[in-house]
Amino acid sequence: MSGTDWNELERAWQSLPSTATPAVAEMQRARRWQWWSVAYLWGEVVTAICGFLAGGWLLSRGDTFSIVMGASTIVFVAAVSTASYWARSLRGERVDDPVMQTVASAIQRVETGLRLARATLWSVCAGLVWLAVLAASVHLVGGAAEYPRGYVAIAVALFWLALVLAGTIVYQQRRAVDLARLKAVEAALKAEV
């Protein structure tokens, strides 16, 4: 949203009934974290590009281990990118009432965040499959030189996946509470109409 859009929303917030206070808080939170949302999206894009390039580079090396890992890296990046696209493709309903639209926008932001969390959980699953392919490749087709590097890569990736999983679970729990509160606000506003 542009600065003008945010200013219009602030004016609309001032006219909201007190039952919409949680929606107002959610929209203010969205404004504070808008930069993070953009940075997160660009981080995903850059990471996907780097992942595809790394997979292509591995494929170009030509040995069996590199071909297996290059192909699995490309499949992994494609799966994670698809999950991210799915999470962001949620479209909310448009309503004429500015108060209800503010609540609907707040609900959509929370639902999109929860979809991103679900996509992240599926991405962790894809990461575990990729690590299984890496472990099997190191053992079955890797040379002695790949053993130490392969196991260090697996250890680092498992630690990272554990952090991502824990953070996602905490995020989901917090946002589920926000969604329930906003749905209650929406129901209360619809009952007033």
Q: Percentage of the chain surpassing pLDDT 70?
A: 77
Residue 103 structural domain: 19-192
Residue 6 domain-assigned (yes or no): no
Residue 59 burial (C-beta neighbours within 10 Å; 0-12, 13-18, 19+): middle
Confidence class of residue 78 from pLDDT cuts 50, 70 and 90? very high
Residue 1 domain-assigned (yes or no): no
Report phi then psi at 13, rounded to 5: -60, -40
Residue 97 domain-assigned (yes or no): yes
Residue type, 87: A
Residue 4 domain-assigned (yes or no): no
pLDDT at residue 66 greater than cutoff 60? yes
Residue 69 domain-assigned (yes or no): yes
Computed on alpha carbons and rounded to an integer, the radius of gyration of the chain in Å comes to: 22
pLDDT at residue 175 greater than cutoff 60? yes
Supply the pLDDT for residue 57: 92
Residue 2 domain-assigned (yes or no): no
Supply the pLDDT for residue 38: 79
- Rounded to whole angstroms, the Cα distance separating 52 from 75 reads 9
For the chain, the average pLDDT equals 80
pLDDT at residue 49 greater than cutoff 90? yes
Residue 33 domain-assigned (yes or no): yes
Q: Percentage of the chain surpassing pLDDT 90?
A: 9
Please state, as a whole number, how many other Cβ atoms lie within 10 Å of the Cβ of residue 94.
9
Digit-coded pLDDT (tens) for 155-166: 888 898 899 899
Digit-coded pLDDT (tens) for 100-152: 777 777 788 888 888 889 898 998 888 888 888 888 887 777 666 667 777 88
Q: Cα 77 to chain center, whole Å? A: 14
Looking at the structure of the chain, the number of domains it has is 1
pTM score: 0.69
Supply the pLDDT for residue 52: 93
